[in-house]
Amino acid sequence: MTTLVDSHCHIDFPDFDGEHAALIARAAEAGVTRMVTICTRLRNEPTVRALAESYAPVFYAAGTHPMSAADEPMATVDGLIAIAQHPKMVGIGESGLDYHYTAESAEVQKQSLRIHIAAAQETGLPLIIHNRASDDDMSKILTAGYKAKPFTCVMHCFSSSPALARAMLDLGFYLSMSGIATFPKSQEVRDIFAAAPLDRVLVETDSPYLAPKPHRGRRNEPAYTADTARVGAELFGVDFDTFAARTTANFNRLFSKAATWTPA
């Protein structure tokens, strides 16, 4: 069976309480054999870590979401490095900037983002970025950080401008395609991905949010990665198996710690 990876989901959220085994089984039936669940508040890291420890297909990342940056204790580089020692902790974040909902905390968000960049630089793990309505600051901060000391990065759930996409691709970063790419009014997003190199594209759900067609309006889940991947295959003019194989190879390259993990 062709296999896919849901590179970004939130299966620790209450939406999935009591059904993790069934959720992971449905994902496997759809060909989604691995997933990275994202801890968005570091105080919840033990809960997210426990999911990764309990289920072989589940890996995790940890950081402070920009919309929570002003409400949570500031992350530290040393703290993130310590968490990163866990064998199934495979990414730093999600961090980033969100000026759509939380512009009032922009300076705190920038401080938090720079800490997460430093942790990615020190650990060698990929940085996972959330960006909304903050393209200029995002480009400046990530570019300056990369020039100071290179790191790897994925722009998760990418739906920003073509200019930001090009700037991030020029740094060697990856763009992750979510269910947004399946929405009828998201032609610009589809055009951005179609213009990107296929070897720099990942797929994700961001579940429980942003369910792709034909599930729009319902709770999203990792199994639906396959629906987004079908749209991705059409955009790149390749068959589904080829798109799945290429995006899985991209995931393995970027999230190399997950690719090399073996059960104890």
* Beta-strand runs (E) in the chain: 4-9, 32-39, 58-62, 89-98, 127-132, 153-155, 174-177, 201-203
CATH of domain 4-260: 3.20.20.140
The radius of gyration of the chain's CA atoms, rounded to the nearest angstrom, is 17
pLDDT in tens, 11-28: 999 999 999 999 999 999
How far apart, in Å, are the Cα atoms of 85 and each of 44, 82, 143, 257?
A: 17, 6, 27, 11
* Separation between Cα atoms, residue 91 and residue 216, nearest integer Å: 28
Mean pLDDT of 58-62: 98
Q: How far is CA 242 from CA 37, 196, 236, 238, 255, in A?
A: 25, 16, 10, 6, 20
**204: closest CA among 219, 183, 226?**
226
Q: Hey, CA dihedral for 121, 260, 25, 43, is it positive or negative?
A: negative
Query: Average of pLDDT values for 97-105?
Result: 97
Q: Which amino acid is at 146?
A: Y
6 DSSP β-pair partners = 35
Q: How confident is the model at residue 2 (pLDDT cuts 50, 70, 90)?
A: confident
The percent of residues in the chain predicted with pLDDT above 70, rounded, is: 100
pLDDT digits (tens, 9 = 90+) for 136-181: 999 999 999 999 999 999 999 999 999 999 999 999 999 999 999 9
